[in-house]
Amino acid sequence: MNEKRLQIYLDDHLALMVGEVELVNRCLGSNRCTPLGDFLQKLAAEVAAQKSVANDIHCHIGGADSLESRVKQGVAWLAEKAGRLKLNGSLLSYSELSRLVELETLAAAAQERVAFWDNLDAVAARDSRLGGIDFAFFRDQSQRQLEELNVRRRFAAAEAFSGR
């Protein structure tokens, strides 16, 4: 097993999850008390739990709290904050276009997590340190989230471009 590559892979995906958690919470803040908000609240909890499991795996294989890992996670956090500066057709407020772009990005992140958990499942057959983790559960959970995000993304697209 190439330890360095596995640690880099986990670092990269943990950083992506940091950005994803931030984005889910931002989107949730603009969609509270709506059916989308209810879904996003559940998504935020599930992604945070997956991030915690990924962090535990990272610690277990000896890659925890490296400078490289902290830098990557910090950059992902900062990138999510910088993404808020994007023009969205509404100078000072949240718009339907904001919602659409956020849901597209969250769908891409969910797709990444599907592959992440599937890849770790494949690696677990060769690395006993990954034994006992139900990677299929997290992969399937991420797949369901992706499917739900895609339904909501399509609805947001219709709303964003409806001409209102």
> Per residue in 32-90, pLDDT tens?
999 999 999 999 999 999 999 999 998 888 766 655 555 555 655 555 554 555 555 55
Give CA–CA dist 37/20, Å, rounded.
Answer: 16
Give me the pLDDT at residue 89, please.
Answer: 52
pLDDT digits (tens, 9 = 90+) for 84-121: 555 555 545 667 888 999 999 999 999 999 999 999 99
Give me the pLDDT at residue 158, please.
Answer: 95
**CB 66 within 8 Å of CB 15:** no
Answer with the residue of higher pLDDT: 78 or 151: 151
Angle at 106 between CA 105 and CA 112, to 5 degrees: 95
- Give the SS3 label for residue 78: helix
Burial string for 131-161 (b: 16+ CB within 10 Å, else e) reads eebebeebbebbbebbeebbebbeebbeebe
Give CA–CA dist 29/11, Å, rounded.
Answer: 27
